[in-house]
């Protein structure tokens, strides 16, 4: 038997076994010249398919012309196969029309609601960061993510005929999701991207990919039962830097969407393809004393304590006018936050940041200790050498404006509060702390001039007045929800239009009915 025929037979048998629930992965491993399902997927040994086509330009298995592997419900060990499967799913979704997109969106939203407790617990067990009740709430909140209704066409009629502009899909999108909100970000992306008519291939954060794989498989199983589309949202298991590079290089992938830190954003923007990038933030708050200080304290606690301050929009540092400072600090204590003294803050700082050898807590270039990111306030309190009451959600204390907790996006439930003498000084300090990310900022004020000055100085994508950061995503304020906020590349809070191309159709001198 020739090698070609033997390979063909093995592939057919693998497909049949997979659909019957048999050991398809074992048969995959027996294919001639292919990687096994247990391979890391790319950039490793010579001949690894995940690394993409060889330098000579010769096609590899899973590239254009190869039939996508079936029976995996979106989960692939090989990035090239995942992209090919997503391309086929995109064509199937196109045939299903807008009604098909609406069915997919309803499936994803309903599953997130039905499995909110199960998936919230699964993500917390894998990542060990955040708070269970908030992970559950985030999944349930996805009912508010907009769908196809966001894609209203634009029409123009005049003496020379009619013109119609519509929002068309790109095709296959490559996406990266963070460890902080793995399933919520993934589900948001699916809703928005499918509403726009696209398929997607995910490269999840290595620290939060197992829960993402579970969600992708469940979504695809339900979509397949309803529409016969098996791989509309694909994911690489396990994710690697090489698998991301393979997705970014793949000819089927027309657009990238990255939600994460500076490193992965930089890699996406250097890929040569259009990238929608939701980068880091370090949102400041200004309290000028003209508004209700008690309300301001409640709002700050609500946002800064949410999911242990993992939200990129969350309040990370507060600047308060000196004349109102003591009353604001007292209000924080009244509403359940625990105040640390100077010595306790110093001890926590040494635990929360890694400083270059020989440098103290005043070092300008510390790095965050990942072991404390997203951990409960009680864990941070123990690091500070203090016991706190059960259920404490937030620690706070006074720091100078150049403190590491002020200048670094630390994503921990400790809130540094800084005295400032004037509004102008507060705005300047807030701008320095925000670091030019242009992400999010909050102000508690009844003075419109102060609001305007801060908005103009910081130029953030989200600017919330007299509410918690959550109001910026429709929780306590008007607006729609999404967990991808494209600050780096300027698209803002993502929605279905974000993932479309605008196409114009022109009829000259005809079809105008008057």
Residue 463, exposed/middle/buried by CB under 10 A (0-12, 13-18, 19+)?
A: middle
CA angle, 361 then 307 then 451, to 5°: 75
Instruction: Report in angstroms the alpha-carbon separations of 230 from 219, 275, 318, 437, 490.
Output: 9, 26, 48, 39, 33
Q: Do residue 101 and residue 207 come from a single domain? A: yes
The CATH number for 371's domain is: 3.40.309.10
- Helix/strand/coil (H, E, C) string of 325-340? HHHHHHHHHHCCCEEC
CA–CA separation, 343 and 414 (whole Å) = 15
Strand partners, 201: 174, 234
Q: Classify residue 362 by its DSSP letter.
A: T
Q: Do residue 272 and residue 289 come from a single domain? A: no
Q: Do residue 265 and residue 300 come from a single domain? A: no
Model pLDDT, residue 67:
61
Residue 483, exposed/middle/buried by CB under 10 A (0-12, 13-18, 19+)?
A: buried
The CATH number for 149's domain is: 3.40.605.10
Q: Do residue 386 and residue 420 come from a single domain? A: yes
In a domain, 345, yes or no: yes
Q: Do residue 234 and residue 298 come from a single domain? A: no
| Cα 345 versus chain centre, distance | 31
CA–CA separation, 48 and 203 (whole Å) = 17
Q: Do residue 225 and residue 165 come from a single domain? A: yes
CA–CA separation, 223 and 230 (whole Å) = 7
- Long-range contacts, 459-465 (Cβ 8 Å, 24+): 460/283, 460/434, 460/487, 461/485, 461/487, 461/492, 461/493, 462/283, 462/313, 462/493, 464/440
Model pLDDT, residue 353:
95
Q: Do residue 264 and residue 294 come from a single domain? A: no
In a domain, 409, yes or no: yes
Instruction: Give, for all 514 residues of the chain, the pLDDT tens digit.
Output: 343 344 443 444 344 334 434 333 333 333 333 333 333 333 333 333 344 443 334 333 334 445 656 668 999 999 999 999 999 999 999 999 999 999 999 999 999 999 999 999 999 999 999 999 999 999 999 999 999 999 999 999 999 999 999 999 999 999 999 999 999 999 999 999 999 999 999 999 999 999 999 999 999 999 999 999 999 999 999 999 999 999 999 999 999 999 888 888 888 988 899 999 998 999 999 999 999 999 999 999 999 999 999 999 999 999 999 999 999 999 999 999 999 999 999 999 999 999 766 444 444 468 899 999 999 999 999 999 999 999 999 999 999 999 999 999 999 999 999 999 999 999 999 999 999 999 999 999 999 999 999 999 999 999 999 999 999 999 999 999 999 999 999 999 999 999 999 999 999 999 888 8
Enumerate residues 6+ apart whose C-beta is below 8 A from 201.
79, 82, 83, 86, 172, 173, 174, 175, 234, 235, 236, 247, 250, 253
**Among candidate residues 106, 97, 457, the one with its CA nearest the CA of residue 286:** 457
Q: Do residue 201 and residue 289 come from a single domain? A: no
Strand partners, 157: 162
The helix/strand/coil state of 70 is coil
Q: Do residue 332 and residue 228 come from a single domain? A: no
Decide the pairing of beta strands 485-486 and 492-493. antiparallel
Q: Do residue 199 and residue 155 come from a single domain? A: yes
Q: Do residue 303 and residue 249 come from a single domain? A: no
pTM as predicted: 0.85
CA–CA separation, 60 and 179 (whole Å) = 32
Model pLDDT, residue 14:
45
The helix/strand/coil state of 203 is strand
CA–CA separation, 335 and 291 (whole Å) = 17
> What range defines the domain where residue 310 resides?
284-356+366-478
Q: Which two tokens stand for residue 471?
A: 């109001």
Number of domains in the chain: 2
In a domain, 139, yes or no: yes
In a domain, 59, yes or no: no
Q: Do residue 151 and residue 290 come from a single domain? A: no
In a domain, 50, yes or no: no
In a domain, 405, yes or no: yes
In a domain, 491, yes or no: no
Instruction: Report in angstroms the alpha-carbon separations of 236 from 13, 148, 196, 222, 348.
Output: 23, 27, 22, 19, 38
Model pLDDT, residue 261:
80
Model pLDDT, residue 259:
87
In a domain, 56, yes or no: no
């Amino acid at each position: 038997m020739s090698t070609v025929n033997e390979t063909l037979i093995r592939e057919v048998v693998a497909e049949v076994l997979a659909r019957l629930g048999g050991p398809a992965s074992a048969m995959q491993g027996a294919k001639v010249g292919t990687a096994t399902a247990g391979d890391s997927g790319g950039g490793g040994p010579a001949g690894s398919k995940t690394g993409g086509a060889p330098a000579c330009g010769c096609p590899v298995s899973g590239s254009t012309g190869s039939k996508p592997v079936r029976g995996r419900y979106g989960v692939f060990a090989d990035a090239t196969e995942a992209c090919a499967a997503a391309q086929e799913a995109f064509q199937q979704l196109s045939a299903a029309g807008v009604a098909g997109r609406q069915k997919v969106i309803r499936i994803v939203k309903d599953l997130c609601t039905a499995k909110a407790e199960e998936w919230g617990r699964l993500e917390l067990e894998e990542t060990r960061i955040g708070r269970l009740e908030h992970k559950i709430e985030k999944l349930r909140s996805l009912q508010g993510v907009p769908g196809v209704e966001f894609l209203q066409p634009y029409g123009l009629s005049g003496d020379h005929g009619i013109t119609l502009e519509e929002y068309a899909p790109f095709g296959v999108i490559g996406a990266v999701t963070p460890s902080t909100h793995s399933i919520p970000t993934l589900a948001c992306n699916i809703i928005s991207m499918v509403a726009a008519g696209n398929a997607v291939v995910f490269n999840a954060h290595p620290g939060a990919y197992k829960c993402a794989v579970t969600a992708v498989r469940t979504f695809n199983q339900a979509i397949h039962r309803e529409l016969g589309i098996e791989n509309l949202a694909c994911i690489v298991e396990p994710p690697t830097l090489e698998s991301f590079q393979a997705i970014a290089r793949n000819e089927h992938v027309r657009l990238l969407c990255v939600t994460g830190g500076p490193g992965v954003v930089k890699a996406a923007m250097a890929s040569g393809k259009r990238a929608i990038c939701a980068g880091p933030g370090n949102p400041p708050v200004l309290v000028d004393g003209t508004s209700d200080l008690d309300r301001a304290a409640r709002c700050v606690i609500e946002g800064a304590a949410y999911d242990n301050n993992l939200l990129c929009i969350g309040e990370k540092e507060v600047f308060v006018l000196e004349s109102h400072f003591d009353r604001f600090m007292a209000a924080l204590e009244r509403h359940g936050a625990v105040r640390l003294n100077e010595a306790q803050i110093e001890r926590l700082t040494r635990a929360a940041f890694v400083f270059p050898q020989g440098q103290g807590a005043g070092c300008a270039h510390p790095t965050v200790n990942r072991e404390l990111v997203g951990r409960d306030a009680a864990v941070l309190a123990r690091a500070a050498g203090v016991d706190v009451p059960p259920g404490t959600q937030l620690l706070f204390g006074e720091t100078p404006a150049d403190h590491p907790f002020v200048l670094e996006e630390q994503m921990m439930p400790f809130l540094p509060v800084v005295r400032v003498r004037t509004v102008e000084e507060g705005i300047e300090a807030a701008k320095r702390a925000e670091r030019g990310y242009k992400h999010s900022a909050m102000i508690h004020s009844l003075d419109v001039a102060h609001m305007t000055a801060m908005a103009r100085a910081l130029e953030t994508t989200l600017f919330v007045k007299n509410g918690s950061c959550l109001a910026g995503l429709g929780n306590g304020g008007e607006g729609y929800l999404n967990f991808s906020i494209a600050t780096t590349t300027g698209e803002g809070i993502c929605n279905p239009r974000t993932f479309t191309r605008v196409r114009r159709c022109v009829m000259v001198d005809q079809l105008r009915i008057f």
